[in-house]
């Protein structure tokens, strides 16, 4: 700690930080633009000037940029000094010389950092009396709008996009006051993290294009804390609504998880909630009209369940609560996981590895601090995007920590750090079946089949710890690489192993577990991150349940005749024929979901479930962190959370357990009692009767406008605001106006801070944890007495088969995930279907890029244009999984090449 | 009067070849340091000679070198860069040295590189100096051939590579850290100091950037010693200095004279005084980014201390003369146009303040000035000062403006009051 004097008042601050961070942490309103807590200082905007005095006797002082000054003991500064204030106001004056002053029609207005800082400096009258210059704006794709005229040249966008996120297609062009921030030409921004520009940009140059389709000012949004449902990482988000439709997703800072950023799937994948294919009313197929009200639907579902022999099929994209109520309703023995059997086994294995293994799963924040990383079988950018961004930070920071202290440069002085470190990167090894976007950062890459990746992994484990099983028959290069990786991991302080379920191989998972255990046996603080398929795959695995195949057998064997399907499209989980058989055999199918799909078509009774923004619940992310998400806006009576439907059905059928519950919390308590590992869920959020100063927490800011007018076309009397029985939040602006507990921050706002930069005010220390601790409760910790060796089963090497291709799953950030793919902006970015084959194989098969390849997997015929790939191993092919246009099949799997069709196709093309 | 730097430069003749240069004693200093002196001894000798940077800032060269990490723990790669990006308006002294005797520069660079134990060196040359580029390329090739560059120089075991890099024509590259960024292939934005290039410079490695004239002094200091170098001067600052004069004088040019020669001497004895029909009004003593001096300062000696005491800077030592038939507002506007255009655009006050100043001066010059414009000009001279901006470009730009407002204020006011430029022969009605 150090004592600094601000306007002659002593304060205790953390030594080593920069002065701007220290002042903001102390609560001072000091304006800034170019500094960003995640990106450090460069000293470009000159907005944060303060007076610095030589000592307590110096009365003149000199202006310094606080972001570039290190905190040191006995430092005397003044924020209130007239000259400093005048300079700061002039900086705004300069910045605004060419700004269009178009706040009224700017999307940023009302949540604009430039507006806030302008007001903060007191600059109000324009002194520049000459004309302004203008720019041509660019088309940047479906996610972001570009309006260069508003630019204040703070360089944050390029620093974020290029330096932080590794993007290549955004830059700063020209010089002096002709600077241009954009692409070299119009075009879709390539980075998977481009949406953060909307929050990084302090004004309205980069704004959310999806919000523009249904624009609402921040102050008119009803917002609630939520958790992203589009991958297993559980990034924290704020979801905003007006007039019953979801308007945007913004970042919700969680120091341990996503920090300041989100991926584009998380930010722009929300629009399916407003989709035309939403199920807005429950349906009973045996009656006409099919659409029905809540009560009839409840009765119909209840009688079906009462009458039948019922099994339940849960979902990895539904909350643990919804899954738990279904499990309770149908009975533990009749609860099946609504995922493919491969996925079921992999998720269970992952859970077992984390529970019995020696290594801890680090949070994303901790991943950024790893000093050596080994990725096995994962294309993180497409399967767990924010993890890829975190790995990028670890690679950037590792050399920095080593060199910067030597050169005596503070880590926050970003430009100096970049100049010193140059292109040097920390150790990163990637073993994957084909090239990934992170390869450019890798120390070494290894492209081969999942079995070969597992063998490499086992070999690495053996080199670290000789008791780990040895791998026979490795090539010399493989052996050398394994040794190199082992030595690098051993040399690191915090080595990190990343693997997961997306390769579809339990062997890869086992190999990763062996490496992590071996490192721990060598007393390294090793971390092990395992990605999981969906947002609540971990929660579902923790609940336990049978495989989907046993559900099929139960119905086909006549053990059961009624199926309750929770938020799930079974056609994405098992082969089409198999699912058809299931539905043909079932007497009653009750489906709860929010979007129409092939499975809802088969439902006899379809219950309209709330999407994530219309529901409360808990998700458990891949780290084992339980996180609460809150309902954003009230729905009509006809739409409600899946758990509420099942809870009410349980009450009607007088289920002996369910009938005892009265509230959401009773349900959670019953769950914690029955499944002790989920005990922590209770601690994720304050109870529904929680109050601050006797008041609830408002979802709308107190400037929310038009509440009395918005329904005046229907009724001029103001109805009582709807109440939320499940949590201590109101749907209006009434309630406590201070800061809520960290797990239920509906929006970041502080007096004078209307933009997302208000996050500073919610943190214990700028860039640190939220006040009261970062939200989420970790449910899984490593075994204190772990198995030293997880697996002895080293697989044989992959052997290609003649006339066959081993089809490996490939993932796409846009397209592979079910819900986001139904959002229009994301849908624009989904690639066209293809099959990727090795260039040498293509030569052998006489195929060129774009020609069709025909093959069959398990009797399903595919005919897809070929994409040549130089890294995918010979004898295998990559099939993009989950794309709307490609039929489901369980992967990896062998495919038989269909030669006739291929010949015919070629004939047709030449004809 | 000794003129060590320019003794072998004859404008009408091609520069000396390596053989010719060696014949007049060239590269003697290289042999001397390699055989007789340790790097530290070279550093100390230069420090003792009180050689101050000729690029404008006037920092003690030996002292600057002493911040470079030396010894076994120092980074293996270090760089020496010759700053030959001479773009200061009115400055053409380095050009004389570059075109006139490139081997002298190479020799000086070898001395400097040896002193900091750098193994790679660059000449960062202004793109427009085409002739210099040709001569330096030839000279570097000759030096390699003669074994003054490359591996194991003169059998000493010391290695030095030298490359010529021609810029693309940004004034900003004259700032040493922006020069380094440009050399790395990045935008020519300056870097924050600290860290100084001596610690983290080119590609993050210890680097010294020295001006051409500074480097050219080195062989002579090595050969003749620190005391001799100090003895060349007529003032506290050691050595000779290349002084230049441009403007409406009879014989504009560049001369090597003892440090401390008075302005009047330079103006009258060497530049031949004002042209017929023109009267002296003021001068910028060391390039466009220095404050005006006027009649009363003419007897000041040209050295770092005396000119600073008079409120200006000696800068590069090349003066621009303002005469009575040139409008001071137009004169300053022309300079501000240059600085505004050459701002890299990194920091706000410079990027947006200089164009504002330029527009104000243009308006005043065109007779469209308003009384409040004087206040706007004044707040710029106040707030675009050193420390408030990221580098020295904008503070340098403010120097001629703030001194013009001091010495020629009535001219500015006359423009505003009379709504036209008194020097303009064409009547410009105000809009």
* CATH code for the domain in which residue A82 is found: 3.10.20.740
- Count of CB atoms situated within 10 Å of the CB of A738: 8
Q: Report yes or no: B266 and B243 within 8 Å, Cβ to Cβ.
A: yes
Place of tokens 């010894």: B71
Q: Are residues A118 and A173 in the same domain?
A: yes
At the topology level, CATH places domain B18-231 in: Rossmann fold (3.40.50)
**Test the B interface: residue of A43, A50, A90 with most B CBs within 10 Å:** A90
Q: Are residues A77 and A136 in the same domain?
A: no
A-B Cβ pairs (cutoff 8 Å, strict): 108
Q: What pLDDT sits at residue A910?
A: 42
Q: What is the pLDDT of residues A587-599, one digit of tens each?
A: 999 999 999 999 9
B375/B372 Cα distance (integer angstroms): 5
Q: Are residues A191 and A77 in the same domain?
A: no
Q: What pLDDT sits at residue B431?
A: 46
A357/A360 Cα distance (integer angstroms): 8
**Test the B interface: residue of A47, A60, A156, A177 with most B CBs within 10 Å:** A177
Chain B from 211 to 270: CB within 8 A of any A CB? none
Q: How far apart are the first and last CA of chain A?
A: 79
- Count of CB atoms situated within 10 Å of the CB of A625: 27
- Specify if A665 maps to a domain: no
Q: What pLDDT sits at residue B426?
A: 56
Number of domains in chain A: 4
Look at residues A152, A143, A155, A119 and name the one whose alpha carbon lies nearest to residue A36.
A155
A607/A641 Cα distance (integer angstroms): 10
Q: Are residues B355 and A62, on separate chains, in Cβ contact within 8 Å?
A: no
Q: Report yes or no: B424 and B327 within 8 Å, Cβ to Cβ.
A: yes
- Specify if A46 maps to a domain: yes
Tell me the domain boundaries of chain B: 18-231, 240-322, 328-418
Q: Which residue of B has its CA nearest to A403?
A: B204
- Count the alpha carbons within 13 Å of A433 in the hemisphere toward its beta carbon: 29
Pair of tokens at residue A328: 């309770």
Q: Which residue of A has its CA nearest to B352?
A: A94
Q: Are residues A94 and B359, on separate chains, in Cβ contact within 8 Å?
A: no
Q: Are residues B195 and A420, on separate chains, in Cβ contact within 8 Å?
A: yes
Name the residue among B343, B346, B376 with its Cβ closest to that of A44. B346
Same-fold call for B18-231 versus B240-322: no
Look at residues A687, A668, A690 and name the one whose alpha carbon lies nearest to residue A679.
A668
Q: Give ipTM to 2 decimals.
A: 0.95
B345 contacts on A by Cβ (under 8 Å)? 153, 174-179
Q: Are residues B192 and A68, on separate chains, in Cβ contact within 8 Å?
A: yes
Q: Which residue of A has its CA nearest to B370?
A: A129
**What one-character-per-residue DSSP string does B145-187 give?**
HTTSSBSSGGGSS--BEEEEEE--S-GGGGSHHHHHHHHTTS-
Q: How far is A83 from chain B (nearest CA, A)?
A: 9
**Chain A residues within 8 angstroms (CB to CB) of chain B:** 42-47, 49, 62-64, 68, 86-87, 90-91, 94-95, 97-98, 127-130, 152-153, 155, 172, 174-179, 403, 407-409, 413, 415-416, 419-422
Top-level CATH class of B328-418? mainly alpha
Q: Are residues B353 and A94, on separate chains, in Cβ contact within 8 Å?
A: yes
Q: What pLDDT sits at residue A785?
A: 87
Look at residues A226, A333, A254 and name the one whose alpha carbon lies nearest to residue A633.
A226
Q: Are residues A115 and A226 in the same domain?
A: yes
Q: Are residues A379 and A507 in the same domain?
A: yes
Cross-strand bridge partners of residue A12? A3
User: Given A518, A533, A548, which residue is the final one in a domain?
Assistant: A533
Q: Are residues A59 and A123 in the same domain?
A: no
Q: Are residues A177 and B351, on separate chains, in Cβ contact within 8 Å?
A: yes
Q: What pLDDT sits at residue A708?
A: 81
- What CATH code is carried by the domain that includes residue A490? 3.40.228.10
Q: Are residues B345 and A97, on separate chains, in Cβ contact within 8 Å?
A: no
Helix runs in B243-347, H state only: 263-264, 304-309, 328-342
B383 contacts on A by Cβ (under 8 Å)? 86-87, 90
**Is B75 near chain A, with CB under 8 Å?**
no
Name the residue among A46, A98, A421 with its Cβ closest to that of B349. A46
**What one-character-per-residue DSSP string does B346-414 give?**
-SHHHHHHHHHHHHHHHHHHTT---HHHHHHHHHHHHHTSTTTSSSSHHHHHHHHHHHHHHHSHHHHHH
- Count the alpha carbons within 13 Å of A406 in the hemisphere toward its beta carbon: 16
User: Given A95, A126, A145, which residue is the final one in a domain?
Assistant: A95
In whole numbers, what is the pLDDT of chain A averaged over residues? 95
Q: What pLDDT sits at residue A905?
A: 44
Q: Are residues A85 and A108 in the same domain?
A: no
Q: What pLDDT sits at residue A903?
A: 43
**Test the A interface: residue of B200, B365, B397 with most A CBs within 10 Å:** B200
A425 contacts on B by Cβ (under 8 Å)? none
Q: Are residues A15 and A123 in the same domain?
A: no
Q: Are residues A97 and B342, on separate chains, in Cβ contact within 8 Å?
A: no
Name the residue among A43, A176, A415 with its Cβ closest to that of B351. A176
Q: Are residues A76 and A172 in the same domain?
A: no
Q: What pLDDT sits at residue A724?
A: 95
User: Given A224, A239, A269, which residue is the final one in a domain?
Assistant: A269
CB-based contacts of A900: which residues, under 8 Å, 6+ apart?
none
Q: Are residues B387 and A94, on separate chains, in Cβ contact within 8 Å?
A: no
DSSP conformational letter for A219: G
At the topology level, CATH places domain B240-322 in: Ubiquitin-like (UB roll) (3.10.20)
Place of tokens 């439907």: A645
CB-based contacts of A527: which residues, under 8 Å, 6+ apart?
A359, A360, A361, A362, A366, A367, A370, A494, A495, A496, A497, A516
Look at residues A578, A589, A503, A585 and name the one whose alpha carbon lies nearest to residue A548.
A578
Q: What pLDDT sits at residue B348?
A: 97
- Residue ranges, chain B, pLDDT below 70: 425-431
Nearest 5°: phi and psi at B327?
-70, 120
Q: What pLDDT sits at residue B235?
A: 94
Can you give the residue range of the structural domain that contains A33? 2-95
Q: Report yes or no: B333 and B368 within 8 Å, Cβ to Cβ.
A: no
B120/B198 Cα distance (integer angstroms): 14
DSSP conformational letter for A760: G
- Residue ranges, chain A, pLDDT below 50: 901-911
Q: What pLDDT sits at residue B429?
A: 52
**Is B298 near chain A, with CB under 8 Å?**
no
- Count of CB atoms situated within 10 Å of the CB of B37: 18
Q: How far is B387 from chain A (nearest CA, A)?
A: 7
- Count of CB atoms situated within 10 Å of the CB of A400: 18
A89 contacts on B by Cβ (under 8 Å)? none
Q: What pLDDT sits at residue A906?
A: 44
Q: Which residue of B has its CA nearest to A97?
A: B352
CA distances from A549 to A118, A334, A340, A859 (A): 62, 12, 8, 18
Q: Are residues A112 and A81 in the same domain?
A: no
Nearest 5°: phi and psi at A574?
-150, 170
- Specify if A36 maps to a domain: yes
């Amino acid at each position: 700690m150090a004592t600094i004097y601000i306007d002659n008042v002593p304060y205790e601050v953390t030594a080593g930080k920069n002065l701007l961070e220290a002042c903001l942490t102390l609560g001072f309103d000091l304006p800034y633009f170019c500094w960003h807590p995640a990106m450090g200082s460069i000293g470009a905007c000159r907005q944060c000037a303060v007076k610095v005095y030589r000592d307590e006797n110096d009365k003149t002082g000199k202006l310094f940029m606080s972001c570039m000054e290190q905190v040191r003991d006995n430092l005397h500064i003044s924020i209130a000094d007239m000259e400093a204030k005048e300079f700061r106001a002039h900086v705004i004056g300069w910045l605004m010389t060419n700004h269009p002053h178009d706040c009224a029609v700017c999307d940023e207005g009302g949540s604009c950092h430039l507006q806030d800082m302008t007001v903060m400096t007191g600059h109000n009258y324009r002194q520049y009396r000459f004309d302004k210059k203008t720019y041509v704006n660019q088309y940047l794709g479906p996610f972001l709008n570009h309006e260069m005229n508003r630019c204040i040249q703070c360089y944050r966008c390029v620093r974020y996009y290029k330096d932080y996120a590794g993007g290549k297609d955004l830059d700063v062009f020209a010089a002096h006051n002709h600077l241009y921030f954009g692409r070299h030409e119009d075009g879709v921004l390539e980075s998977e993290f481009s949406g953060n520009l909307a929050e990084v940009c302090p004004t309205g140059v980069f704004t959310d294009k999806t919000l523009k389709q249904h624009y609402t000012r921040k102050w008119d949004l009803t917002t609630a804390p939520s958790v992203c449902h589009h991958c297993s990482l559980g990034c924290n988000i704020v979801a905003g609504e007006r007039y019953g439709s979801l308007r945007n997703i913004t970042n919700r800072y969680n120091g341990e998880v996503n920090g300041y950023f989100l991926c584009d799937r998380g930010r722009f994948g929300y629009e399916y909630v407003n989709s035309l294919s939403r199920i807005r009313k429950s349906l009973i197929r045996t009656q006409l009209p099919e659409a029905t009200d809540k009560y009839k639907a409840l009765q119909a579902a209840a009688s079906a369940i009462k009458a039948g022999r019922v099994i339940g099929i849960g979902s990895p994209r539904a909350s643990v609560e919804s899954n738990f109520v279904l499990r309770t309703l149908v009975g533990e023995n009749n609860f099946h996981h609504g995922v493919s059997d491969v996925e079921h086994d992999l998720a269970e294995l992952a859970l077992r590895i984390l529970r019995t293994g020696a290594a801890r799963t680090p949070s994303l924040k901790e991943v950024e601090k790893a000093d050596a990383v080994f990725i096995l079988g994962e294309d993180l950018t497409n399967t767990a995007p924010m993890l890829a961004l975190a790995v990028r930070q670890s690679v950037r920071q590792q050399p920095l920590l080593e060199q910067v202290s030597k050169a005596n440069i503070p880590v926050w002085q970003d430009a100096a750090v970049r100049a010193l470190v140059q292109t040097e990167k920390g150790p990163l090894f990637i073993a994957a079946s084909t090239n990934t976007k992170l390869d450019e950062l890798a120390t070494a890459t290894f492209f081969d089949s999942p079995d070969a990746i597992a063998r490499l992994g086992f070999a690495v484990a053996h080199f670290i710890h000789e008791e780990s099983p040895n791998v026979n028959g490795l090539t010399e290069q493989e052996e050398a690489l394994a040794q190199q990786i082992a030595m690098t991991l051993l040399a690191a302080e915090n080595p990190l192993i990343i693997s997961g379920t997306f390769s579809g191989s339990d062997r890869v998972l086992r190999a990763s577990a062996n490496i992590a255990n071996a490192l721990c046996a060598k007393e390294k603080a090793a971390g092990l991150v395992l990605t999981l398929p969906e947002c609540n795959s971990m929660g579902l695995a923790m609940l336990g349940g049978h495989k989907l195949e046993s559900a099929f057998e139960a119905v086909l064997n006549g053990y059961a005749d009624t199926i309750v399907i929770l938020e799930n499209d079974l056609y994405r989980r098992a082969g089409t024929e198999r699912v058809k058989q299931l539905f043909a055999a079932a007497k009653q199918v009750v489906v709860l979901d929010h979007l129409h799909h092939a499975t809802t078509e088969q439902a006899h009774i379809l219950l309209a479930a709330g999407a994530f923004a219309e529901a409360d619940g808990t998700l458990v992310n891949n780290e084992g962190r339980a996180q609460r998400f809150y309902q954003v806006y009230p729905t009509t009576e006809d739409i409600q959370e899946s758990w509420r439907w099942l809870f009410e059905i349980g009450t009607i059928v007088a289920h002996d357990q369910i009938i005892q519950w009265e509230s959401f919390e009773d349900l959670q308590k019953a769950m914690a009692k029955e499944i002790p590992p989920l005990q922590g869920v209770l601690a994720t959020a304050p109870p529904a009767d929680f109050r601050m100063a006797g008041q609830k927490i408002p979802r709308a800011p107190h400037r929310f406008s038009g509440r009395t007018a918005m329904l005046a076309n229907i009724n001029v009397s103001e109805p009582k605001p709807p109440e939320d029985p499940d949590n201590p939040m109101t749907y209006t602006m009434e309630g406590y106006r201070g800061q809520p507990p960290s797990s239920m921050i509906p929006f970041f706002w502080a007096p004078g801070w209307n933009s997302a930069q208000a996050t500073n005010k919610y943190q214990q220390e700028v860039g640190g944890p939220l006040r009261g601790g970062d939200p989420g409760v970790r449910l899984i910790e490593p075994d204190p007495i772990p198995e030293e060796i997880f697996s002895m089963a080293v697989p044989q090497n992959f052997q290609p088969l003649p006339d066959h291709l081993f089809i490996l799953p490939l993932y796409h950030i846009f397209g592979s995930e079910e819900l986001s793919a139904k959002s229009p902006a994301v849908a624009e970015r989904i690639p066209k279907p293809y099959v990727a084959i090795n260039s040498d194989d293509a030569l052998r098969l006489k195929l060129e890029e774009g020609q069709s390849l025909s093959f069959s997997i398990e009797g399903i015929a595919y005919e897809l244009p070929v994409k040549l790939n130089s890294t995918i191993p010979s004898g295998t092919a990559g099939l993009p999984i989950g794309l709307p246009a490609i039929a489901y099949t369980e992967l990896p799997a062998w495919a038989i090449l269909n030669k006739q069709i291929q010949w015919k196709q070629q004939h047709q093309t030449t004809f | 009067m000794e003129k060590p730097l320019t003794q072998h430069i004859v404008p009408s003749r091609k520069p000396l070849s390596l053989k010719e240069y060696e014949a007049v004693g060239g590269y003697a200093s290289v042999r001397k340091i390699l055989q007789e002196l340790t790097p530290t001894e070279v550093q100390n000798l230069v420090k003792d000679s009180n050689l101050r940077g000729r690029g404008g800032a006037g920092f003690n060269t030996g002292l600057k070198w002493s911040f470079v990490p030396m010894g076994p723990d120092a980074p293996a790669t270090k760089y020496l860069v010759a700053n030959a990006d001479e773009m200061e308006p009115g400055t053409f002294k380095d050009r004389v040295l570059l075109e006139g005797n490139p081997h002298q520069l190479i020799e000086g660079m070898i001395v400097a590189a040896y002193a900091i134990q750098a193994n790679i060196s660059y000449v960062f040359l202004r793109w427009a100096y085409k002739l210099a580029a040709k001569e330096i390329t030839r000279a570097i090739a000759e030096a390699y051939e003669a074994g003054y560059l490359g591996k194991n120089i003169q059998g000493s075991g010391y290695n030095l590579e030298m490359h010529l890099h021609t810029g693309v024509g940004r004034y900003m590259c004259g700032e040493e850290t922006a020069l380094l960024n440009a050399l790395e292939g990045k935008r020519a934005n300056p870097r924050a100091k600290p860290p100084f290039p001596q610690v983290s410079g080119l590609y993050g490695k210890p680097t010294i950037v020295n001006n051409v004239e500074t480097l050219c002094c080195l062989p002579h200091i090595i050969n003749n010693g620190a005391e001799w170098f100090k003895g060349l001067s007529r003032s506290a600052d050691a050595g000779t200095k290349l002084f230049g004069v441009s403007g409406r004088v009879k014989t504009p040019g560049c001369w090597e004279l003892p440090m401390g020669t008075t302005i009047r001497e330079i103006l009258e004895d060497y530049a031949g005084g004002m042209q017929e029909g023109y009267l002296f009004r003021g001068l910028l003593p060391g390039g466009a980014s220095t404050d005006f001096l006027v009649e009363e300062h003419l007897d000041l000696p040209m050295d770092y201390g005396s000119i600073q005491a008079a409120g200006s800077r000696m800068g590069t030592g090349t003066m621009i003369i303002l005469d009575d038939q040139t409008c001071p507002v137009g004169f300053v506007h022309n300079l501000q146009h240059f600085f505004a255009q050459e701002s890299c655009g990194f920091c706000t006050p410079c990027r947006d303040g200089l164009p504002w100043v330029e527009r104000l001066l243009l308006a005043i010059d065109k007779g469209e000035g308003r009384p409040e414009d004087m206040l706007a000009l004044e707040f710029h001279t106040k707030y675009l000062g050193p420390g408030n901006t990221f580098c020295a470009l904008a503070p340098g730009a403010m120097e001629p403006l703030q001194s013009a407002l001091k010495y020629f204020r009535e001219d500015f006011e006359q423009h505003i009051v009379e709504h036209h430029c008194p020097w303009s022969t064409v009547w410009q009605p105000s809009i």
